[in-house]
Each structure stands twice: as structure tokens, then as C-alpha cells.
Structure 1
Amino acid sequence: MRRSIFEDALAAVKPGRPIKVSTYVFAGRGTDPDAVHALLAEHARDRGWVVHRARFTDEPTDGPLPARPQFNLACRHAGSGFVDGVLAIDRGAMPTTDEAYEAYLRWLHRHYAFIAFLQPAIGGTPWTDR
């Protein structure tokens, strides 16, 4: 589902216009958010994407489910057209329940936006698609 939403959002971008993304980090204990944002920005640039100056970071909180207010803001940022998508490390950074994650994906799809993960390709450098 995420992949088809990603492809639909990219197809909606005018030819010749760069893809714009914001980075999102769920910074668990021991995570250096600045380093992770830098890694995500490098990955985006290697793909030819433009990284928006706004970046979003959530940290774990006490409670039954981890709150991710900055993830919500990142999605609203994308859905409002400031960027085309949100780039994160992996599914672990997303809302914990599949239902919540799917709701975000469907909302972004209606706004021609996407969520992408850092996915090194096999072959070439670890940060470029080959």
C-alpha cells in the first residue's frame, strides 16, 4: 500500500520539478536525532530530492502508546503541499498500530503526498538506487 501511494504521489509531480521532502525521526533512547536527519538528508539528495528546511523529531514518552505529535505535523506539512513527502528511517518510526499507520497513508494519498523510508539498494553505493 505504501509503495503504490508513493508511486501515485511521484506521478502527480510535474515533470522537471524536484521532489521535496521533510525528514522525520522517532528518536529512541541513545539516538542522535541530528545525525539521523543528516543521514536522511544525504539519502534524499542522492535520490535527487530536495530536503525542506523543516524537519520533525519525536522522542518517546511515557504512556501506553508512544505519542508522535511531530509525525502528525510532518504529515500535515506534506498534505498541505509544502513538500511532496516525509522521509523516515523505517516502519519503526511510524505509528505503532497498523490501523493508525494506514489512516496516515490514506490521508496522504488523498493529498498526493507520501511516506518514504531510507532503503539502501543492493549494488552501487548504499544510498543510491541502481
Structure 2
Amino acid sequence: MKPGRRIRVTTVVFAGPGVDAGATHTLLGPYARDRGWDVHRERFTDEPSRGPLRTRPQFNTACRRAGSGFVDGVLTTDRGAMPSTDEAYEAYLRWLHRHYAFIAFLQAGLRGPPWTAR
């Protein structure tokens, strides 16, 4: 990246049981800004899929945006927002690396993940 250019990220949330997707996207915004990143206006939310394939179509779209240069990275809460197999996860990381993009995770506080219902 060009020195001095601000990093742009998009947020991805997996809205599993007990997760407030809107609040989670809101939580990711200040986290990104604290790191000096700009949050892109487009955000992505996946819901649990039914059936044998646990796809994350919104995550796929976010990665395509990063690989195409619309954003520099994907910010999400944890590994659960990504494909379930380690092989698929590694393939995404390698693909993003080849396209000069990244995935970042929210660092949860000591009291546990703030994005789940308590």
C-alpha cells in the first residue's frame, strides 16, 4: 500500500442464534476506526444455512470486493464468519494475500464476546 493511504475495510457478520447483526456491525466500526481504518459503507451479513453445505455467500462477496480493490480488508468478529473447513479458510487467506488484501478479527474484551446475547 502506498504510504499515508488510509486502509479501507468492510465488515462481515455471521448472524447465528443470539447475534444482533446490526449491533455487531456497529461494534466493528469503532474498532476499525481505533486502528486508523476507514469502514466502507457496504456491509455483509450471513445467516446460518440449512443443509450439508455451510456456505457464506456474503463473506464470499466481501472477499471479492477486497480482491477487486474496493476495500483493503475484511473485518469480522471471529472465525465463525468464515467457511467451516480449515482448507476453505486457508484458500481464502491465500487468495486474499495474492490480491493484497487481508482478514482481521475483532479482539474481544476480557468479559467475553460482546456481540452475543447474554
TM-score, normalized by length of structure 1?
A: 0.81
Matched, 1:106 2:94: yes
More helix by share: 1
- Matches for 1:10-89 after TM superposition, within 5 Å: 13-89=1-77
SS class of match (2:16)? coil
Could you tell me which amino acid in structure 2 is paired with residue 87 of structure 1? L
Q: Could you tell me which residue of structure 1 aligns to residue 114 of structure 2?
A: none
> Structure 2 regions of 5+ residues with no counterpart?
111-118
CA RMSD, aligned part only?
1.3
After superposition, the C-alpha distances for 1:9-38 in whole angstroms (9 at most, x for unaligned) are xxxx11111110000001102211000001
> Structure 1 regions of 5+ residues with no counterpart?
1-12, 123-130
Residue 65 of structure 1: how far off its partner (Å): 3.0
Residue 121 of structure 1: how far off its partner (Å): 7.7
Could you tell me which amino acid in structure 2 is paired with residue 56 of structure 1? F
SS class of match (2:92)? helix
Determine what percentage of the aligned residue pairs are the same residue.
75
How many pairs align?
110
TM-score, normalized by length of structure 2?
A: 0.89
Q: Could you tell me which residue of structure 2 aligns to residue 115 of structure 1?
A: 103
Distance in 2 between residues matched to 1:61 and 1:108, nearest whole Å: 24
After superposition, the C-alpha distances for 1:16-70 in whole angstroms (9 at most, x for unaligned) are 1111000000110221100000111110011110000010100001112322100
